[in-house]
Amino acid sequence: MSAATAAALLGLAGLLPAAAVLLGHRLVVVTVRGVSMAPAYRDGDRVLVRRTAHPTRGQVLVVERPAVHTRWPSRPLPAGAGARAVGRRQWLIKRLAALPGDPVPEPMLSAPPFARPGPPRVPAGSLVLLGDNPQHSVDSRHFGFYPAERVLGTVVRPLRPARTRGQFRSASPRRPGPPAG
């Protein structure tokens, strides 16, 4: 995959804006951008994220956007980093499919560099991350194992989407959808 293609796909990969709201040092509110986690999370949804170092398989994580074909531009974000440091980074939202020592999940086995004999395992310090909407997700199938030190935290719960506030009373020729939240 070319760098241009990868960069274009990252735009569809659940990118979160750099302006996340930090609630203390343990909770962060982020807005989902893209469709990689649909239908669980859609573009514009806001989620509450707990900064944690020990996620479990199946949880949805917010992770630092990986560098495409280059080294990481900066060191991992320290655990106690404040709002300014969090806001300077770009984030993705993905589901944790495998932890260190787990077998590599089936969706990755046919993708290079995983297509080789023997049951590969996730190495120490690494994770396998997958989007819920694989046709529109750039994830471990594209960038391989993900460094665990680049996890911001786990999604605790969705919040009311910012895009629906105040829209329920507006007149529209279209049939209104159900209220969010």
28 closest CA partner among 36, 17, 37, 41: 17
139 or 174: which leads in pLDDT: 139
Give the pLDDT of residue 114.
58
pLDDT at 10 over 60: no
Give the pLDDT of residue 86.
84
Amino acid at 91: W
Q: What is the dihedral of CA 146, 147, 149, 154, to 10 degrees?
A: 20
69 or 151: which leads in pLDDT: 151
pLDDT at 103 over 80: yes
Whole-prediction pTM = 0.73
Give the pLDDT of residue 42.
92
The highest-confidence range among 9-23, 60-74, 111-125, 136-150, by mean pLDDT, is 136-150
Q: Which residues are 154's β-sheet partners? A: 50, 61
Q: Average pLDDT of 34-52?
A: 92
From its phi and psi, is residue 24 left (phi > 0), alpha (psi between -120 and 50) or beta? left
